[in-house]
Amino acid sequence: MMVLDLLLAIQREHDACIGFRFSCRVAMCGTCTLRLDGRSVLACQTPVPQDRDTVRLDPVAGLPVLRDLVVDTAPFWREWAKVTPYLVPHDGLTEPAVVTPDSDERRLIDASLDCIGCAACYSSCAVAAGSRDFVGPAALNRAMVLVADSRDAAAEQRLAVADGAGGVDRCHYVYGCSAVCPKGLDPAAAIRYLRKSRLKS
């Protein structure tokens, strides 16, 4: 039984209006994020611990609670938006780029795609969730994916954000983000990459 199944059972049998979100229940939408005994997880992917009678569920940290486990994710996306999170294609990009799968570029990027925007990393980052002046691990991971992409023409503006007040220097390398990512991504490595790119430029 997953934590999501537990919440659905509570909704059906005990408290019909308990507030929690979910959509896909297969780790693709990233909307059921919560904290189980303090750890940021996807409710749909996390078994209910069988070794005790009670568990503690809290909403994602660092985001305003609307009700029970339901949060407003707008602050997370505001930070995300700061890194120009969309591809800014080079003028000449009119056909799908020819890039071999074993290229350095793709090795780097492919391992960092599949972010579902669940905010588990944001929630587990004391800096992002605490003081709110850090764009946070998810946004910087997205920035890295685009900075490393040879199809993209906006690396400079993203590196400027990474170099700015809310950028990579706010990271204290606690690695909470990489420890909790339900997709196995490594945002801390992305932050290291951006730091190195800045030094080079």
Partner 1 sequence: MARATDDVTAVDTDVAVVGSGGAGLMCVLHAMTADPGLDVTILSKGAVGRSGCTRMVQGGFNAVLDPADSLELHLRDTLEGGKYLNDQELAHTLVTDAPRVVNELETRVGCFFDRAPDGRIHQKAFAGQQFDRTVHRGDLTGIEIMGRLRDQMFRLGPRELEDVRALDLVRDADGELAGVTALDIRTGRALLARARVVVVATGGAATMYRIAAPAREKTGDGVAMCWRAGIPLRDMEMLQFHPTGLLAGESRLTGAVLEEGLRGAGAYLTNAAGERYMARYDAARMERSTRDVVSRAGYTEIMAGRGTPNGAVLIDISRLGAAEVERRFPGMVERTRQVGQDLARGPVEVSPTAHFHMGGVVIDRDCRTELPGLLVAGEDAGGTHGANRLGGNGVAESTVYGARAGDIAAAIAADRPLRTPDAEQVATSVAAAYAPLTRETGEAPFPVTGELKDAMWVGCGVVRDRAGLEECLQVVDELADRASRVAVAGPREVNFAWQEALDLRNQLTVARNVVESALLRTESRGAHYRADFPDQDDVAWSRYIVLRDGADPVVRDVEHTRVSPEVSA
Question: Which residues would be at the binding site for partner 1 (CB under 8 A)?
Answer: 1-2, 4-5, 8, 11-12, 16-31, 44-45, 66-68, 70, 72-73, 77, 80-81, 85-87, 89, 93-103, 106, 109, 113-117, 142, 146, 149, 151
Nearer to partner 1, 127 or 143 (CB): 143
Provide the token pair at 198.
Answer: 């800045």
Of the candidates 137, 99, 141, 122, the one whose C-alpha atom is nearest the C-alpha of residue 35 is 122
The total number of residues shown for the chain amounts to 201
Let me know if 176 is exposed, middle or buried by CB neighbors in 10 A (0-12, 13-18, 19+): buried
How near is the Cβ of 53 to partner 1 at its closest, in Å?
Answer: 20
Q: CB-wise, 80 or 134, nearer to partner 1?
A: 80
Task: Map residue 40 onto helix, strand or coil.
Answer: strand
Output the smallest distance, CB 24 to partner 1, in A. 5
| Share in percent of the chain as helix, strand, coil (round to 5) | 40, 10, 50
Q: How far apart are CA 181 and CA 172, in angstroms?
A: 17
Among candidates 60, 55, 53, which has minimal Cα distance to 75?
Answer: 60
Nearer to partner 1, 156 or 173 (CB): 156
CB of 23 to partner 1, least distance (A): 5
Half-sphere exposure of 161 (CA within 13 A, CB side): 23
